[in-house]
């Protein structure tokens, strides 16, 4: 498994190099197109809606040292003025797409607080601190400065936590702007995985509707999309639910869930399904939306789960573990896939209200052992306080301590509501999808199709994630590749985001498009929409990739076939040749292979992650070269 870690580091290096190169080329092409448009060679482009209120940020070029001062140090400094804080805060909000976490005071170092192998002999008082130490009065003064700046920017200031201990005070606050439309709402995509009966759908039902479960799974019924799912009680499709957070950080849920506790019949669950909030209503009241991708837990639907993990581009994975069953069955498979795809992981241990204490202790012990193993190298953090929830959201996915990465564990009960507020706080503080460096706005438009619909009186509708660039209604785009590798010209009629109509979309957002002059039979999952540029896109039949065999019962040789997942692409590939001294590869081996698509061409780019699946065989790799 150590070899897997080194291979993943190698993949990250290759992907980063290819990504930087493609960004540079895309930006040059984008700049050339804008220059040509400026000189009248191309039709004028419609003005896009500003993402945030236009705020002029003045930076004195002669004072380069001021750029290095963080917003937190500026707020805590006695020499800074309100205008300076306001200008810097505006710049931070623009970079953070309308949101910023601000830590004031001297916080314990996360590298020492959360460690893979903590030393019991190290007292808590010797843990080094990060930041400037403040007294309670100094912290109050800093908060007043921050409040004044937020009022000037018309932003909301949310108190996440504050700790006063031993004459030292520190805390964390969130500054969040109110979006002017659905286009500006921040989004976080979370894939929910786990074994059968682990409580995935029930937890989502409780989180998104606010009412508690009755202990018999009533909260999950509203999430099912097909009749057979209601009959069997098992999710078999890639479902979706959203949880909105208001500018003040409160969860957007039906108001009537605040029932009278004195009335025995006014249980919140009684209105859980009937009073489901529509997505449009949630978007009107929310400034941040967490999109849950509810994936199937049964082994029969593993290919659907794998497609959701790769095609829906989740930012985080939430692994559900039943407290009474433990980490068994498909939970281990899902954990392995999430680790292979290098997606940050959070764990929820459910059903703690009905699990005997000894069984729950065994589940926690086994989970901790698996997470700390050399194959995972995750730092388990049992979240019980708001500070731990905020820290896990901030540092999730980042190496800490002895090279491990944080993995928050929430011990929750959907019947009693235990620890659900901590889980909501964690979700509220997770960074937005658009903050990721892999989504470039100033580049040509590119969109991956992960689902296709035929809507009456509308026509063909496609949904997916915008991987780069921006798009507006009525923009001309290319759809492809089709069965013969060609790209068809079409146009975006209308755009919807979270079932609400919008005028534009940008990189990192999951949206839906209605296409002009395109029949449903002409579109399939895995196709792309690309903006028209001077260099037409090319479809690929063969490509070269560096792979590593995670598990295979025997050997893999040329002519071996398996199902390949690469983003939204799901197609069988054949190994044409492989570069290995023995001419074949086994479990743990790595090699450079040439692959060929069996059915039709696809649109691939260098640096994309690939995952091969055939029964229990799993092969991880990266596209290193696109072949003609």
pLDDT (tens digit, 9 = 90+) per residue, 491-548?
999 999 998 999 999 999 999 999 999 999 999 999 999 998 888 899 999 999 999 9
Domain 69-113+127-177: which CATH number of 2.60.40, 1.10.287, 3.30.110, 3.40.50: 3.30.110
pLDDT value, residue 50: 39
In whole angstroms, what is the distance from residue 285 CA to residue 185 CA? 10
pLDDT value, residue 345: 95
Write out 251-297 in H/E/C secondary structure: EECCHHHCCCCCCCCCCHHHHCCCCCCCHHHHHHHCCEEEEEEECCC
Q: Tell me, yes or no, if the two domains 2-24+539-627 and 446-531 fold the same way.
A: yes
- For residue 200, the surrounding DSSP H or E stretch is helix 200-209
Tokens 């999730």 belong to: 396
In whole angstroms, what is the distance from residue 513 CA to residue 473 CA? 9
Q: Are 338 and 319 in contact (CB under 8 A)?
A: yes
Question: In the beta sheet, which residues pair with residue 574?
Answer: 561, 596
- Alpha-carbon distances of 144 from 137, 147, 151, 291, 335, rounded to whole Å: 11, 5, 11, 34, 45
pLDDT value, residue 80: 80
Q: Low-confidence residues of the chain, pLDDT below 50?
A: 1-2, 38-67, 120-121, 230, 235-237, 257-274
In terms of Cα–Cα distance, which of 608, 616, 619 is closest to 575? Answer: 619
In whole angstroms, what is the distance from residue 8 CA to residue 64 CA? 37
pLDDT value, residue 26: 62
Q: Which tens digits make up the pLDDT trace of 401-410?
A: 666 789 999 9
Q: Which tens digits make up the pLDDT trace of 224-264?
A: 555 555 455 554 445 578 899 999 999 998 765 444 433 33
Mention the CATH class of domain 2-24+539-627.
mainly beta
In whole angstroms, what is the distance from residue 282 CA to residue 278 CA? 6
pLDDT value, residue 361: 96
Fold assignment, 446-531? Elongation Factor Tu (Ef-tu); domain 3 (2.40.30)
What's the start-to-end Cα distance of the chain, in Å? 35
pLDDT value, residue 225: 54
Sequence spans of domains, the chain: 2-24+539-627, 69-113+127-177, 182-254+273-435, 446-531
Q: Which tens digits make up the pLDDT trace of 27-75?
A: 566 555 555 554 444 444 444 333 444 444 444 444 333 445 788 899 9
Domain 182-254+273-435: which CATH number of 3.40.50.150, 3.40.50.11540, 3.40.190.10, 3.40.50.300: 3.40.50.300
pLDDT value, residue 114: 84
pTM over 0.75? The answer is: yes
In whole angstroms, what is the distance from residue 213 CA to residue 200 CA? 12
């Amino acid at each position: 498994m150590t070899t897997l870690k080194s291979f993943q580091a190698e993949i990250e290096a290759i992907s980063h190099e290819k990504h930087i190169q493609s960004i540079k080329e895309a930006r040059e092409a984008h700049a050339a197109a804008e220059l040509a448009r400026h000189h009248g060679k191309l039709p004028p482009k419609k003005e896009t809606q500003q993402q945030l209120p236009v705020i002029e940020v003045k930076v004195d070029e002669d004072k380069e040292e001021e750029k290095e001062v963080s917003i937190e140090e500026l707020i805590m400094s006695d020499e800074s003025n309100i205008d300076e804080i306001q200008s810097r805060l505006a710049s931070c909000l623009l970079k953070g797409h309308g949101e910023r976490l601000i830590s004031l005071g001297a916080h314990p170092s996360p590298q020492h607080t959360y460690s893979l192998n903590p030393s019991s002999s190290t007292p808590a008082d010797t843990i080094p601190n990060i930041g400037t130490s403040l007294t309670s009065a100094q912290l109050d003064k800093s908060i007043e400065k921050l409040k004044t700046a937020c009022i000037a920017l018309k932003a909301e200031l949310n108190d996440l936590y504050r700790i006063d201990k031993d004459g030292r005070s520190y805390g964390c606050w969130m500054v969040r702007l109110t979006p002017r439309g659905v286009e500006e709402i921040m989004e976080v995509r979370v894939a929910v995985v786990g074994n059968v009966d682990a409580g995935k759908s029930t937890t989502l039902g409780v989180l998104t509707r606010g009412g508690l479960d009755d202990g018999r799974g009533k909260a999950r019924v509203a999430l099912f999309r097909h009749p057979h799912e209601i009959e069997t009680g098992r999710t078999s499709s890639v479902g979706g639910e959203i949880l909105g957070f208001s500018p003040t950080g409160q969860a957007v849920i039906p108001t009537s869930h605040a029932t009278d506790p004195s009335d025995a019949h006014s249980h919140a669950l009684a209105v859980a399904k009937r009073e489901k909030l529509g997505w449009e209503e949630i978007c009107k009241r929310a400034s941040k939306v967490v999109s849950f991708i509810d994936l199937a837990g049964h082994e029969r639907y593993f290919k659907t789960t794998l497609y959701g993990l790769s095609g829906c581009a989740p930012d985080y994975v939430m692994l559900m573990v039943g407290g009474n069953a433990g980490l068994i069955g498909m939970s281990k498979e899902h954990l392995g896939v999430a680790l292979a795809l290098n997606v940050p992981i959070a764990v929820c241990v459910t059903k703690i209200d009905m699990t005997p204490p000894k069984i729950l202790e065994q589940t926690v012990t086994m989970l901790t052992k698996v997470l700390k193993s050399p194959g995972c190298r995750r730092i388990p953090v049992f979240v019980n306080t708001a500070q731990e929830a905020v820290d896990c959201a901030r540092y999730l996915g980042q190496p800490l301590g002895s090279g491990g990465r944080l993995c928050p564990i929430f011990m929750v009960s959907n019947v009693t509501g235990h620890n659900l507020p901590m889980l909501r706080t964690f979700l509220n503080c997770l960074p937005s999808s658009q903050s990721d460096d892999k989504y470039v706005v100033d580049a040509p438009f590119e969109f991956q199709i992960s689902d296709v619909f035929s809507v009456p009186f509308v026509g063909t509708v496609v949904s997916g994630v915008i991987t780069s660039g921006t798009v507006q209604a009525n923009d001309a785009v290319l759809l492809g590749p089709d069965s013969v590798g060609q790209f068809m010209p079409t146009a975006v009629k209308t755009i919807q985001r979270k079932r609400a109509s919008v005028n534009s979309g940008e990189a990192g957002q999951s949206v839906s498009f209605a296409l002009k002059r395109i029949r449903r039979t002409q579109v399939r999952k895995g196709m792309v929409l690309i903006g028209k540029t001077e260099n037409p896109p090319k479809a690929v039949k063969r490509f070269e990739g560096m792979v590593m065999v995670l598990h295979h019962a025997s050997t893999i040789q040329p002519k071996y076939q398996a199902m390949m997942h690469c983003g939204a692409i799901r197609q069988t590939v054949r190994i044409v040749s492989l570069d290995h001294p023995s001419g074949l590869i086994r479990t743990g081996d790595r090699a450079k292979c040439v692959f060929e698509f069996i059915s039709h061409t696809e649109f691939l780019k260098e640096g994309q992650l690939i995952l091969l699946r055939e029964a229990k065989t799993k092969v991880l790799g990266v596209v290193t070269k696109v072949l003609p």
